[in-house]
Amino acid sequence: MQELYKKLSQYRKEDICIISDFDATLTQAIKKDMSKGSDSFSVYENNPHLLGEEYIILTNRLFEKYYAIEQDPEVPGDEKELAMVEWWTKEFELYKAHGLNQDVFIEIIQHKLIELKHHVEDFLKLSHSMNIPVVIFSAGVYNLIHGFLQKINADFNNVHVVANIFEFDNSGNFVSTKGDLIHSLNKNFEELSHLPFYSDLRDKKVAIILGDSVSDMNMVRGGDFEEVISIGFFNTLPGHKDYERRLKAHQETFDIVLDGREDLGKVVELLKSIQ
């Protein structure tokens, strides 16, 4: 981290913006006891009462097929993108078929069935006090992310969520997503240029990236930054057949690679060093 402190020492807080993934970056993908945490998609598998056992069987089939493609550094980018569109489209169809509704979202948020990493609240409050724009750029669900921000009283005007917005009918049932589909591989800076808060970002000299997948580096693709500082959480457990290959890809991609069990304490300290 000392190298990152050195890079940032030549800039002011007014020069900086933060672009962060949500699932498995701001949420606990791996708990201290090495068990897996829930994210916007796995929360239903880890809590079968939400959408039922049949949903879990079908979504696991999709995960086994598409996650390996997403994480494989040898699969060409255009091939990956097609696979991600297929995955998200099929997953959202499963949601409709198995009764996803607004009450499910309320339960997830109120009972914290997705757990945020420790110090996420500190990270967001500090960025707010420093007036540093934060973009939470996610292939997950806007409604859930925004709900969690409200839950921890961190729905600040400097925090902008860009994710898949779910729309519901008058009975509260999920019917569709609004606008273009956001998946893990089409998150890039150019996609932010048509959004109202883009004016807060375009003149920044430094982007701090928080992610868990090598594709999260695309979040600054198309941006004109003097410096990009990247922090990647590595969520593959030792013993996994692709552990070494994925670790190498992370180390070659991010400035700093943190164990997936780590919280946001080091990110908070990095921001404090700017102050």
Residue 35: the pLDDT is: 86
pTM for the whole thing? 0.92
Residue 4: the pLDDT is: 80
Residue 37 has pLDDT above 70, yes or no: yes
In the chain, what percentage of residues exceed pLDDT 70? Answer: 100
Residue 3: the pLDDT is: 79
**pLDDT tens column, 72-125:** 878 998 899 899 999 999 999 999 999 999 999 999 999 999 999 999 999 999
Could you give phi then psi for residue 200, rounded to 5 degrees? -75, -15
Instruction: Report the C-alpha gap between 65 and 97 in whole angstroms.
Output: 20
Residue 210: the pLDDT is: 98
Q: Which domains are seen in the chain, by residue range?
A: 2-274 (3.40.50.1000)
Residue 67: the pLDDT is: 85
SS3 string of the chain?
CHHHHHHHCCCCHHHEEEEECCCCCCECCECCCCCECCCCCCHHHHCCCCCCHHHHHHHHHHHHHHHHHHHCCCCCHHHHHHHHHHHHHHHHHHHHHCCCEHHHHHHHHHCCCCCECCCHHHHHHHHHHCCCCEEEEEEEEHHHHHHHHHHCCCCCCCEEEEEEEEEECCCCEEEEEECCCCCCCCCCHHHHCCCHHHHHCCCCCEEEEEECCHHHHHHHCCCCCCEEEEEEEECCCCCCCCHHHHHHHHHHHCCEEEECCCCCHHHHHHHHHHC
Residue 275 has pLDDT above 80, yes or no: no
> 134-141 and 16-20 as β-strands: parallel, antiparallel, unpaired?
parallel
Residue 62 has pLDDT above 80, yes or no: yes
Contact indicator for 83, 77 with CB cutoff of 8 Å: no
Residue 71 has pLDDT above 80, yes or no: no
CA torsion through residues 62, 97, 22, 32, sign: negative
**pLDDT tens column, 111-167:** 999 999 999 999 999 999 999 999 999 999 999 999 999 999 999 999 999 999 999
Instruction: Report the C-alpha gap between 60 and 45 in whole angstroms.
Output: 8
The angle subtended at Cα 202 by Cα 268 and Cα 265, nearest 5°, is 5
**pLDDT tens column, 194-251:** 899 999 998 999 999 999 999 899 999 999 999 999 999 999 888 888 899 889 999 9
Residue 144: the pLDDT is: 97
